[in-house]
Amino acid sequence: MAETQVQEGKAPFKIPSIDEPCFTYYKIIGDLSSGAPPVIIAHGGPGAGHEYLLPFADLWQQYGLPVIFYDQIGCAASTHLPQKAGDQSFWQEQLFQDELDNLLDHLDVRRDPGFHLLGQSWGGMLGAAFAARRPRGLRRLVLASALASKELATRGTLLLREQMPPDMQKALDEAEQKGEYDSPAYKEALDFYYRKHVCRADPFPPAELLPALKHLSEDTTVYRTMNGPSPLTADGSLNNWTVIPRLPKITSPTLVYNGEYDTSHDIAQVPFFELVPRVRWITFPGGGHMCHLEGGGLRERILKVVGEFLTHKDIPEAQ
């Protein structure tokens, strides 16, 4: 069994429009000099931080793959920029692409043996866009409960809302019409949505998810500006976002997965499956958006599927 090694650090990140020094916090599980490609883990939210994805640290223990977690700019242990709240021109995909490029260079992981990239939710949206550039060193890509476009994501959310009890649908509609998201009825509907579609762990929320919920509630700058006032109400800078025209450019072998009840609905996965040249798509029965945190054997199955995909010798690498 591989020995567990943990290293933490901060990568300086220069943002041209920001005068103050900024940095990206990272945590490495395993040994980057082991000869195996490290797995870069891009979290969702935007603004959720890396902790809820820590179960993937077991890729080191079980498959000998070093794992690199990081907190994206604006959240958790990286530099916060509350002065940029509401600035939709600032909080764009390109900022996070630049940050990921900067981190890869700081850690010097582009050279042989290269690196893998796993993005969950918004991190998968970023990961697909990043991979479409065919970045040097990228070996394999995992899109975990990602979304091919915000328009498809919204359509998927509406389909899930239509399955909710009528009184909850009414509470959601009234909150959005009035711009009031603090009513008990709205919170009850949102809690129902979270437990059925976001994370189906019982008890809810699981301990690993608590830091993400804390990050998202304590500093709303990134999530509110990029997504909107609620997971069910989108009016942020990502509203017109799409990676669909770029998907045929992805040359890395790609694993796409989502859950049966996932907020990342099947309709938002179809473009990945149809347009990425070398792709495999798995939908996990009984799973939600955070199925790597869920019981019933889901957590173990996902780690096995991801670990085997990243280490399987018979998959041709990108040319």
**Active site annotation includes 112:** no
**Active site annotation includes 289:** yes
**Angle of CA points 219, 147, 52, to nearest 5°:** 45
Catalytic residue (choose from 43, 50, 80, 121): 121
Catalytic residue (choose from 80, 215, 289, 292): 289
Find the helix packing angle between 166-178 and 184-193, rounded to 10°.
Answer: 120
Give Rg (Cα) of the chain: 19
Instruction: Tell me the residue type at 134.
Output: R
The number of beta carbons lying within 10 Å of the beta carbon of residue 115 is: 23
**Active site annotation includes 149:** no
The number of beta carbons lying within 10 Å of the beta carbon of residue 240 is: 8
What dihedral angle (degrees, nearest 10) is formed by the CA atoms of 72, 74, 80, 83? 160
Catalytic residue (choose from 78, 262, 264, 265): 262
CB 56 within 8 A of CB 28: no
3-class secondary-structure state, position 8: strand
CA–CA gap between residue 221 and residue 121 (Å, rounded): 18
21: its two tokens? 């020094």
**Beta-strand relationship, 6-12 and 67-70:** unpaired
Active site residues: 121, 262, 289
